[in-house]
Homo-oligomer: A and B are copies of this chain.
Amino acid sequence: VSRRVINLGLAGFGTVGSALARIMVENADDVARRTTADLRIKTVLVRDPDKPRGFDPGPETTFTTRVEDILDDPEIDIVLELMGGLDNAEAFTRKALEAGKHVVTANKALLAERGRPLFELAARKNLGLYYEASIAGGIPIVQALKHSLAANRIDKLQGILNGTANFIMSEMTTKGMSFEEALAEATELGYAEADPTLDVDGIDAAHKLALLVRLCHGQHYPFEEMHIEGIRGVTPEDIRFAREFGYRIKLIGQIRQDGSRIDAGMFPALVRDRFLLSKLGKNLNGIRVMGNMVGPLFFTGQGAGGLPTASAVLADILMLVRRIDAPDNTGFIESDLPLAEVLPPEESVHEFYLRFTVADRPGVMAAIASVMAENDVSIAQAIQRDTGEGELVPLVFMTHTASTRAIARCLEATSAFDFIGAPTAMLRIIEEDA
């Protein structure tokens, strides 16, 4: 077998970059058996060339602070954007594509918020812009949607796409912690960053969900229109009630179609406890995909971390090496990939969990139930319980399917009642399709 050298240029040498170098050394024999190309990290762009590195890639690799050393080097075939952030990463990725280089990236924020012109540029130049590492780390969901499920219309996708948020929800559930206590523990263990906003407010997971719309439906999703709700408002009390009903609460991203419109949202939801998604503890990620021909498929694994992410980066590199002349970034013909029509979030239908805090007196249940009936919201189950702790008691409903708008109207109308003692808690319930 005649072998050829493929030169890689890395922008960034943090957790993922150094893990990639480590895999290429430690698994060199296994990787060499999978391709006739000899991969070499030729050049690494860093801000500070003197900073200690997580792994030494060896003497073949040059470290530089000049971006031209990658972009203007005709020997570099594939560029890895592992710098993160938006402005610099965007400029670098655009220039790399303009220079005729394939790009592999783990930057979900860049692709979700500013990806469209980059994907269009890559398609015009017939170049790869691959991003397996951007969604759920080492779980091969991009490849599965691009290729393995290409015979299917994807009717529904439901996922746990942020390990930090899942860790917090799991700790709240199993240890009865408050959100603040669980966040503090996640921070101490290194699962949460100093500023946990991207993780706990659902933004990081929503970036991934926007890219999953691209992969499921061949449409670019306008990120700024997505319904994004984080987990700061989930209380131990809601978790306990959910469990009484046989559910757990998880931060869930969901993609459905409503006619020609895309219904994508990120929110904390009750998940029936026999559903595999509800069983994902710790910082695991998991995705359930419903194809109209294959039925339901479920994938789970580590959604973050240097080695799982670098494993996905290297898979993309190998795909490019194997098909260097015919990349397909989405699994759809890229040149006519349309802008998605978006279902307005208030039209999105779900079953809902509602917890009212009410004065313990006659007529309360009837008054609330009447409001729900007036708004065509049908009640599936209810729990009313005397806590013996004062004048206010919880009154919990699970509804049948209703629109978000109808529920909002119920909450508005009931908030005017004088017997309501606190804001009403509202959560969506997702179902496992058969």
- Name A residues whose Cβ lies closer than 8 Å to a Cβ of B: 1, 19, 23, 27, 30-31, 33-36, 132, 137-140, 143-144, 147-153, 218, 276, 279, 291-302, 305, 307-308, 310-312, 314-315, 318-319, 322-323, 326, 328, 331-333, 335-336
Contacts and interface: CB of A to CB of B under 8 A. Distances in A.
Copy number in this complex?
2
Given A332-B33, A333-B36, A308 B326 contact: no
A295 B23 CA distance: 13
Contacts of A311: 149, 151-152, 291, 293-294
A185 B275 CA distance: 25
A229 to B, nearest CB: 27
A3 to B, nearest CB: 10
Contacts of A23: 151, 293
B299 A153 contact: no
A271 to B, nearest CB: 14
B319 A307 contact: no
Q: What are the nearest 5 A-B pairs in CB distance?
A: A140-B148, A151-B314, A138-B294, A297-B301, A294-B311
A124 to B, nearest CB: 13
A160 B1 CA distance: 37
A154 to B, nearest CB: 9
B138 A143 contact: no
Nearest to A307: B293
Nearest to A280: B276
Given A140-B140, A144-B144, 15 more contacts: A33-B218, A34-B218, A34-B331, A34-B333, A35-B150, A140-B144, A140-B149, A147-B319, A149-B311, A291-B311, A294-B307, A294-B311, A297-B299, A322-B323, A322-B328
